[in-house]
């Protein structure tokens, strides 16, 4: 029975697949970040393979080793090498001495000593060759694994940097969208001149009234709970409108960000926005300002907007549906 320390037992259980998913992730995180921890894992793997070849594992450990470790090509290659190495060393140690032949002239002892010495020199040379080859193979194998680990670390760092860059872009885009919505909220349409303007210019047949230019961006507020195609909010979009800005009323919740997807009447997604931040508007509700939507994306027809809350683990949950109808005027 092999006696192991607590840390050696933990690494052994990792190799044999005996740890929980959380414990496996912790071990992998340790040797992913720490070269010494990775070296300890390699040593534990070599010792476990050697114990398996020499019959030093219990029946349960042997069965788990064969199920988990021998399921990979690399594991089979290491076990085959360990068996070959152990057999070569055993054969070299078990080399029989040469027979002693009696010489009538009294030279049998010296001849036997020379023959015995030559035989053991060959056996030791063979054993030394096996050790050198085995040690070289282990060095090459470890160097290959370290190269793979270094490559994985580089890929991980690149993924982290790309995620941070995407987050920075999302934050900047959201800030620009919020600024645009604030500008839209502050716009006021100036009234046309009335009859009692007290001397102001009055419209005449020769002088038509100057109409206030229609805004190129229109803002609408949507409330959840309406049915697609029936009783939906109608968005009258004048010709010449470049984009549409939507504000969604939602119930106050625990989501830090949301995702909005607009689908056409036949259920085809036509527009999407992620990482939307809510703004609390009262004690029980909040609002979400969507980025401006190009008017060409919303031709006349029925639509539904699906709002989902984004969880910290990357998943999402449906929050509300908003049905609306777009008409041109």
In the block, tokens 């998913």 appear at: 21
Q: How far is CA 25 from CA 22, 48, 146, 199, in A?
A: 5, 21, 19, 81
- On average, the pLDDT of the chain sits at 75
Lowest model confidence (mean pLDDT) among 46-50, 133-137, 226-230? 226-230
Residue 104 has pLDDT above 70, yes or no: no
Q: What's the whole-number mean pLDDT along residues 47-72?
A: 85
Q: What's the whole-number mean pLDDT along residues 228-235?
A: 68
Lowest model confidence (mean pLDDT) among 53-62, 82-91, 122-131? 122-131
The number of residues in the chain equals: 329
Q: What's the whole-number mean pLDDT along residues 234-245?
A: 90
3-state SS, 151-195, equals HHHHHHHHHHHHHHHHHHHHHHHHHHHHHHHHHHHHCCCCCCCCC
Higher-pLDDT residue of 229, 35: 35
Q: Which helix (H) or strand (E) holds 248?
A: strand 243-251
Residue 321 has pLDDT above 70, yes or no: yes
Q: Are 141 and 49 in contact (CB under 8 A)?
A: no
Higher-pLDDT residue of 313, 212: 313
Report residue 190's pLDDT band, with 50, 70 and 90 as the boundaries: very low
- What is the distance between the alpha carbons of residues 22 and 314, in angstroms, rounded to a whole number? 18
Q: Are 267 and 222 in contact (CB under 8 A)?
A: no
Report residue 189's pLDDT band, with 50, 70 and 90 as the boundaries: very low
Lowest model confidence (mean pLDDT) among 29-38, 56-65, 253-262? 29-38
Q: Which helix (H) or strand (E) holds 319?
A: strand 316-328
The pair of structure tokens assigned to 273 is 């926005």
User: 156-182 pLDDT, tens per residue?
Assistant: 677 777 788 878 888 877 777 777 776
Report residue 306's pLDDT band, with 50, 70 and 90 as the boundaries: very high
Q: What's the whole-number mean pLDDT along residues 236-264?
A: 88
Lowest model confidence (mean pLDDT) among 20-29, 36-45, 132-141, 242-251? 132-141
Residue 194 has pLDDT above 70, yes or no: no
Q: Are 136 and 144 in contact (CB under 8 A)?
A: no
Residue 270 has pLDDT above 70, yes or no: yes
Give the CA radius of gyration of the chain.
39
DSSP-assigned states of every residue in 185-245: HH--PPPPP-TTSSSPPPPBTTB---PPPPPSEEEEEE-S-PBTTBSPEEEEE-TT--EEE
Residue 209 has pLDDT above 70, yes or no: no
Residue 272 has pLDDT above 90, yes or no: yes
Instruction: Return the top range by mean pLDDT from 44-48, 171-175, 317-321.
Output: 317-321
Q: What's the whole-number mean pLDDT along residues 73-96?
A: 72
Region at 198 (left for phi over 0; alpha for psi -120 to 50; beta for the rest): left
Q: How far is CA 141 from CA 15, 83, 133, 220, 249, in A?
A: 17, 16, 12, 64, 60
The residues near 276 (Cβ < 8 Å, ≥ 6 apart) are 174, 257, 258, 259, 260, 288, 289, 290
- What is the distance between the alpha carbons of residues 224 and 239, in angstroms, rounded to a whole number? 27
Specify the DSSP class assigned to residue 305.
E
Q: What percent of the chain has pLDDT over 90?
A: 16
- What is the distance between the alpha carbons of residues 71 and 178, in angstroms, rounded to a whole number? 55
Instruction: Return the top range by mean pLDDT from 86-95, 136-145, 154-163.
Output: 154-163
Q: What's the whole-number mean pLDDT along residues 259-288?
A: 87
CA angle in degrees (0–180, nearest 5) for 21-24-26: 110
- What is the distance between the alpha carbons of residues 65 and 14, in angstroms, rounded to a whole number? 11
């Amino acid at each position: 029975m092999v006696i192991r320390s607590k840390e050696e037992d933990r690494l052994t259980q990792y190799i044999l697949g005996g740890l929980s998913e959380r414990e496996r992730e912790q071990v992998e995180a340790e040797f992913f970040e720490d070269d010494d921890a990775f070296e300890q894992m390699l040593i534990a793997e070599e010792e476990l393979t050697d114990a398996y070849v020499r019959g030093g594992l219990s029946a349960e450990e042997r069965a788990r080793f064969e199920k988990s470790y021998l399921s990979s090509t690399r594991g089979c290659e290491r076990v085959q090498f360990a068996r070959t190495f152990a057999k070569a060393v055993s054969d070299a140690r078990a080399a029989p001495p040469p027979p002693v032949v009696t010489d009538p002239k009294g030279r049998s002892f010296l001849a036997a000593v020379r023959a015995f010495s030559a035989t053991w020199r060959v056996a030791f040379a063979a054993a030394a060759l096996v050790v050198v080859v085995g040690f070289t193979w282990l060095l090459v194998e470890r160097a290959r694994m370290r190269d793979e680990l270094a490559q994985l670390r580089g890929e991980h760092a690149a993924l982290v940097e790309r995620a941070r860059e995407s987050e920075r872009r999302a934050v900047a885009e959201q800030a620009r969208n919020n600024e645009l919505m604030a500008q839209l909220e502050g716009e006021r349409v100036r009234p046309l001149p009335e009859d009692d303007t007290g001397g102001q210019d009055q419209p005449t047949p020769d002088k038509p009234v100057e109409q206030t230019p229609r805004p190129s961006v229109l803002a609408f507020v949507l409330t959840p709970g309406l049915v697609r195609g029936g009783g939906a909010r109608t968005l009258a979009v004048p010709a010449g409108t470049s984009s549409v800005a939507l504000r969604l009323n939602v119930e106050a919740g625990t989501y830090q960000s949301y995702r909005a997807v607009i689908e056409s009447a036949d259920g085809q997604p036509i527009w999407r926005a992620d990482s939307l931040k809510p703004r609390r508007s009262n004690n029980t509700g909040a609002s979400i300002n969507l980025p401006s939507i190009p008017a060409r994306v919303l031709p006349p027809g029925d639509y539904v907007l699906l709002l989902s809350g984004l969880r910290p683990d990357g998943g999402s949950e449906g929050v509300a549906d908003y049905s609306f109808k777009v008409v041109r005027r």
